[in-house]
A = this chain, B = another copy of it.
């Protein structure tokens, strides 16, 4: 029987969800990690800033982890690194722009000096322990995206990262079909592929399509100021906006911290081609005639603190939306942001702007592959085993169907979940157990200190508020010395409900006076009595269930 080491794939994020992508590749005792992303909080995660993967498994095997390789520089692929590297300081491999964006994050956290960053480029091959890691050019909505082929002694694991098949990419760097085909010719053991758009039939349009729309919009809005909101990291989109401005003789000002940052990094690293003298400061833009100005801004998702939102609410220090302005929202709302974006559009219309948004075609294209592209990827790489990644469950299911349609044998397709160990030999694959995996919530400086209990409390507080009942009791006699006082927040507007709260207070008082509890031992029964009496009364009167918090002081 073969004593060959096993190959395992252990997804720590990105399966059954959009975001916090992270995949561990284990061969024998050695582990390589692909991507390390964050996710934005789901509904119900009140007050949470971001969500990162649970890396317990990696920490338990910390001496085995050889490094983290990155596919591209989006937050859902690199955003958890500042948190993870703090606990697990391993070398990081990525392309120039990816590491350039990461560099900014690490600098903010004072983590530059202790982090080892290896810059790679497409077709580079790096040997790390038993893994020969190869980086392969793909198109995506950020430049310098790569797929990763991990050559192991028993076969190739091919991880697409996020990709699309753009036949006419803005930078001319077409997906490396030749290398994909070579790998397919030799045979890929396992393909891990991006499922984000697996529900969409056909092909995703080329990024260049948006450039044409920009050009046309600039032509039509000849006399107006033009404001374009898009994703800060979509450097090709920014490039096309700048090209359109150049062609139509406009200067360009950039607004919004993250976009200013990306433009600076991308320019410095040579990913943005900026005509001399075209970029100006906002102050200068405000002095130029309207038809000589284009403004690039963040806020295409209606994010509450973003530049576009502040403009729409007439709350931006430097940019005032004026009647006649043309505002292009070059993005699709990410699920969950639909209402935020709609509100911004309405506000802009109310200020007299002409708003060009999602409902017009050609103003945005996706960075992810539709069904025909997904099938092409499978046919190019010809994998023995297939694992859909980067998607919610229904998307992975659909992707699995596509794989079956193009001939991958159904028992070679694994629709997995985070934490599952998928174990492969040259010939077989199986689910071989599971490791800890899940969501670590980040709230302010706290990483993982907000759990279900705290969230449950926040949800309860958010629904009907809180009533605090305070009473001071003599520790000897058990008699009430002060109170009970009732203080409420988020429950009712107090001035209109004085009567209700006074009656509530009287009921609590009566119930406490009946009781002659002494000492800590009996407090809990006293407290639950307060909760019962008050909860019942308030529900009867208001049909609300605020949190009730009895506090007993002893003197």
Contact = CB atoms under 8 A, between A and B. Distances in A.
Most B C-beta atoms less than 10 A away, residue of A47, A339, A444: A47
A47 B459 CA distance: 9
Interface in A523-555: 541-544, 547, 549, 551, 553-555
Contacts of A282: none
A52 to B, nearest CB: 16
Interface in A40-55: 42-43, 46-47
A30 interface: no
Contact of A492 (B339, B454, B463): B454
A294 B340 CA distance: 38
A91 B542 CA distance: 29
Nearest to A17: B346
Nearest to A42: B339
Contacts of A355: 394
A541 B449 CA distance: 13
A483 B554 CA distance: 9
A254 interface: no
A222 B453 CA distance: 46
A472 B345 contact: no
Given A47-B463, A468-B551, A483-B553, A493 B450 contact: yes
Given A542-B445, A543-B445, A458 B454 contact: no
B462 A547 contact: no
Best-surrounded residue of A338, A350, A394 (most CB of chain B within 10 A): A394
Nearest to A348: B394
A275 interface: no
A492 B43 contact: no
A524 to B, nearest CB: 14
Contacts of A487: 549, 551
Contacts of A482: 472, 553-555
A359 interface: yes
A397 B356 CA distance: 13
Contact of A472 (B393, B464, B465, B555): B555
A397 B542 CA distance: 40
Total copies of this chain within the assembly: 2
A372 interface: no
Contacts of A16: 346
Interface string A440-461: 0001111001110111011111
Contacts of A444: 464, 542-544
B490 A553 contact: no
A457 B339 CA distance: 22
A146 interface: no
A521 interface: no
Contacts of A544: 47, 443-444, 446
Nearest to A48: B463
A342 interface: yes
Contacts of A335: 338-339, 342
Nearest to A201: B359
Interface of A: 16, 42-43, 46-47, 199-200, 335-336, 338-340, 342, 345-346, 349-350, 355, 357, 359, 392-394, 397, 443-446, 449-451, 453-455, 457-466, 468, 470, 472, 481-483, 485, 487, 489-493, 496-497, 541-544, 547, 549, 551, 553-555
Given A449-B492, A481-B555, 15 more contacts: A16-B346, A199-B359, A346-B393, A350-B393, A443-B464, A444-B544, A453-B493, A454-B493, A455-B490, A457-B465, A461-B489, A461-B490, A472-B481, A482-B554, A482-B555
8 contacts: A16-B346, A46-B463, A446-B544, A449-B492, A453-B493, A455-B490, A461-B466, A472-B472
In the complex, the 4 A-B pairs of residues with the closest C-beta atoms, listed nearest first? A444-B543, A462-B462, A457-B490, A461-B461
